[in-house]
Amino acid sequence: MPSSMARTPKQAAPKPPEAAAVRSAGADDLEAIRAIYNEGIEDGIATLDYDVKTHAQMRDWFEQRSTRYPVIVACRDGQVVGWASLNPYSHRCAYNGVADLSIYVRRDARGQGVGTELMAEIEELARAKDFHKIVLHALTDNPAGRRLYEKRDFRDVGVFKEQGRLDGRFVDVIAMEKILAAG
Ligand SMILES: CC(C)(COP(=O)(O)OP(=O)(O)OC[C@H]1O[C@@H](n2cnc3c(N)ncnc32)[C@H](O)[C@@H]1OP(=O)(O)O)[C@@H](O)C(=O)NCCC(=O)NCCS
């Protein structure tokens, strides 16, 4: 056989990343949650929060939540690679059926389906906790976030122009929502 036709040993196709296991977060997950959140802050397109968080701040955030506002984590190989939470939208009683959403995936685990898994679970939890809808605010410059929400059938409510200031420049923020049909 001419050497040009010699077969090279078949290379194993790269394994697709395995699905993450999603579960309720506990106090032991807080350091990982904090590290992932701080990556989101440093990215500058995920949130209008721009001070990275300390452990004490995250502990307060976690401890002050009632059971109606869960935090969940996605884990792979025993490591937390993403988290999501339902947050109070307003203290006014009439908004009792509305939850605000946060979702963050570790930088090296993005684009592998973790966000989609977290969204599916947090929406199930929102239904179980009798929320009627989920709302969120995303920077218009966040294509990954917007695609994830569109994929989960969130609709655009509208754009707040020059709503926040990051690194000295005004940024636009889009409000999105999803009415939760009975599961
Ligand atoms: C936004 C975020 C949570 C998405 O999670 P993820 O695990 O990367 O998302 P998934 O892999 O499940 O992908 C969801 C969809 O977004 C698409 N997507 C992922 N990254 C993208 C990017 N950079 N640009 C455009 N689309 C992107 C995926 O292709 C997929 O759509 P498809 O199924 O039609 O192909 C994640 O990128 C992240 O943590 N970003 C930083 C924090 C942040 O922005 N949080 C949201 C604040 S509003």
CATH number of the domain encompassing residue 118: 3.40.630.30
Do 71 and 85 touch, CB atoms closer than 8 A? yes
pLDDT at 16 over 80: no
Answer yes or no: are the C-beta atoms of 104 and 71 closer than 8 Å.
no
Please report whether residue 64 resides in a domain. yes
Average pLDDT value over all residues in the chain: 93
In a domain, 149, yes or no: no
What are the pLDDT digits (tens) for 171-181?
999 999 999 98
* pLDDT number for residue 10: 65
Residue 84 has pLDDT above 50, yes or no: yes
Q: Report the pLDDT averaged over residues 46-62.
A: 95
What is the tens place of the pLDDT at every residue in 111-124? 999 999 999 999 99
Atom 12 in ligand 1: which residue has the minimum CA distance? 113
Task: Give the closest residue to 173 by CA, choosing from 135, 142, 137.
Answer: 137
**For residues 139 and 127, is the Cβ–Cβ distance under 8 A?**
no
Residue 147 CA to ligand 1 centre (angstroms): 6
Helix (H, G, I), strand (E, B) or coil at 68: coil
Residue 79 domain-assigned (yes or no): yes
The answer to the question of residue 171 being in a domain is no
60 Cα to the center of ligand 1, angstroms: 28
Give the total number of structural domains in the chain. 1
Residues with CB under 6 A from ligand 1: 40, 43, 46, 103-105, 110-116, 138, 142-145, 147-148, 151
Residues above pLDDT 90, as percent of the chain: 87
Q: Is residue 178 in some structural domain?
A: no
In the chain, helix, strand, coil percent, each to 5?
A: 30, 30, 35
Whether residue 6 is contained in a domain is answered as no
Residue 3, pLDDT above cutoff 60:
no
Cα 74 to averaged position of ligand 1 atoms, centre (Å): 14
Domain assignment present for 180? no
Residue nearest to ligand 1 atom 44, measured at CA: 46
Threshold 0.85, pTM exceeds? yes
**Do the domain assignments include residue 90?**
yes
For the segment 121-176, what is each residue's pLDDT rounded down to a tens digit? 999 999 999 999 999 999 999 999 999 999 999 999 999 999 999 989 999 999 99
Q: Does the structure show a pLDDT above 50 at 76?
A: yes
Which residue range is the domain that position 131 belongs to?
A: 21-136
Q: How many angstroms is it from 41 CA to the middle of ligand 1? A: 16
